[in-house]
Amino acid sequence: MKIVVIGTGYVGLVSSICFAKIGHQVIAVDKIASKIDQLKKGEIPIYEPGLKEMLTEVVGLDNISFTTNLQEALIDAKAVFIAVGTPQDEDGSADLSYVLDAIKEIAKYSTSSKLVVTKSTVPAKTGEKIKKLLTETNPQIKFYVASNPEFLREGCAIEDFMKPDRIVIGYDEDQAKKILEEIYNYFPASKIFHTDLVTAELIKYGSNSFLATKIAFINEIADLCENVGGNIKDLAYAMGQDSRIGGKFLNPGPGFGGSCFPKDILALLNIAKTNNSSLSLIDAVVKSNNNRKNLMVKKIVNLLDCDVENKKIIWLGLAFKANTDDIRYSPSIAIAKELAKMGAQIFAHDFQAQSNAKKELNDFNNVKFIDDIWEAIKNCELMVIATEWEQYKQIDLSRVKALNPNLKIIDLRNILDISEIKKHGFIFDFIGNGS
Ligand code: UGA
């Protein structure tokens, strides 16, 4: 089927390439000409494992093309996916201006019937709004509207798209159902969950907010372990063995970040507020996660015996999580900034996020970016692990000890082997360190 995807950000680009992989004819559209030029050359503007290779493959199959010209792209397309950003507005609500701009253009340029599907995370009842806007702008054309929220995670986006736990489709008309079933016929029918438009929109917010709640919960239990003297790793593992709870998203850390959870929980709170509902639990999650950064700063300051000025810190990890170059709402950056404000000398490293972080930390002369962590290890007083890259997990602690016997370590992701750290006699701290 000929499909147009508007927006070549994370969701749009991964969806376009994966739709092409499962056999559709995809035209990916973006207003940013430089991005389209890059994609035409086979270059990927973001870091996502496996995506470049898959792009080469689908270009080879002649299943994908890139353009800035929506009008041309829409000719003969049966379905149009909206995958533009829905950034956070000042009041926490999702800013729909990019979505509505795209809708106006679809209405203006369409010359045949289309299914318009939101993949972007949009507030409840956006589908209704879209339908109204489309039919009012172009009453000659029959438009169908559906919601198909995307659940892929950065860093494992292809796997999430190609092997989904479920595909949610929400629609109010049979023709929308028919077209969506055709689009997703690569996947077993049992994977596809059918519902109405508003429910599909809410499922996305429900899922992200629940996951954020799970993380905030385990973070606070880790703090309790720290005060009571329990072992958070064992606790989280044993809790996760209960199939009603499940072991995923129970890793305590410096707080959740990224372009989705922080924005989506605020948007859900806004949806609740504007619909006379209260979500006190989600309110508490926001507060808990905001407070998390201060707690992490305190832990680091304590490990430096409350004397931060001019202390040299090697900072491992800047991305909001491993396997991405994304630093949006990265707890690592927020915490590093606080320490830099206190006068610490930070030597920052990341495998992919360094150039994005440079722009964000540009104002701090006392933050330097390094490629060689070993040179910095020699000269620093403290090593902070802030992002859970596999390579940090594998760090050779014997070599660290040999280069700098007095180096203190704080692991904000609980990825290091505590028995190894103890064996080498480091002064250390981690999350939920109650022992
Ligand atoms: C999240 C959801 O997991 C996806 O299902 C969803 O499609 C996406 O948002 C979206 O709305 O587009 P993502 O933001 O890529 O995906 O990242 P996650 O892997 O969910 O991690 C989010 C944050 O939670 C990160 O800061 C991560 O470090 C933190 N986290 C995650 C923890 O602190 N502990 C955990 O156990 C898991």
Q: What is the CA(160)–ligand 1 centre distance, in A?
A: 12
Q: Which atom of ligand 1 is nearest to the CA of 150?
A: 7
State the helix-helix crossing angle for 126-137 and 197-228, rounded to 10 degrees: 150
> Is residue 250 in contact with ligand 1, taking CB distance under 6 Å?
yes
CA–CA distance, 309 with 10 (Å, rounded to integer): 39
Which pLDDT score, from 0 to 100, does residue 256 have? Answer: 98
Best residue among 118, 159, 213, 260 to mutate for probing ligand 1, ranked by most atoms within 8 Å of CB = 260
Q: What is the CA(259)–ligand 1 centre distance, in A?
A: 9
Q: Is 144 helix (H, G, I), strand (E, B) or coil?
A: strand
Any catalytic annotation for residue 18?
no
State the pairing for strand pair 2-6/25-29. parallel
> Is residue 215 in contact with ligand 1, taking CB distance under 6 Å?
yes
Which residues are CB-neighbours of 423 under 8 A, at least 6 positions away? Answer: none
> Is residue 258 in contact with ligand 1, taking CB distance under 6 Å?
yes
CA–CA distance, 165 with 193 (Å, rounded to integer): 10
Q: Which atom of ligand 1 is nearest to the CA of 249?
A: 36
State the pairing for strand pair 427-430/408-411. parallel
Q: Is 397 helix (H, G, I), strand (E, B) or coil?
A: helix
Calculate what percentage of the chain has a pLDDT beyond 90: 97
Residue nearest to atom 37 of ligand 1 (CA): 249
Two tokens, residue 311: 């202390």
Q: What is the CA(265)–ligand 1 centre distance, in A?
A: 12
Give the model confidence (pLDDT) of 16-53 as tens digits.
Answer: 999 999 999 999 999 999 999 999 999 999 999 999 99
Give the model confidence (pLDDT) of 118-140 as tens digits.
Answer: 999 999 999 999 999 999 999 99
Which pLDDT score, from 0 to 100, does residue 5 have? Answer: 98
Angle (CA) 38-42-44 rounded to 5° is 65
Which pLDDT score, from 0 to 100, does residue 435 have? Answer: 59
Question: How many other C-beta atoms are found inside a 10 Å radius of the C-beta of residue 357?
Answer: 25
DSSP state of 70: H
Q: Which atom of ligand 1 is nearest to the CA of 387?
A: 28
> Is residue 256 in contact with ligand 1, taking CB distance under 6 Å?
yes
Residue nearest to atom 8 of ligand 1 (CA): 153
Residues in the chain with pLDDT values less than 70: 434-435
Which pLDDT score, from 0 to 100, does residue 434 have? Answer: 67
> Is residue 151 in contact with ligand 1, taking CB distance under 6 Å?
yes
Catalytic residue among 18, 225, 260, 380: 260
Q: What is the CA(330)–ligand 1 centre distance, in A?
A: 11
> Is residue 254 in contact with ligand 1, taking CB distance under 6 Å?
no
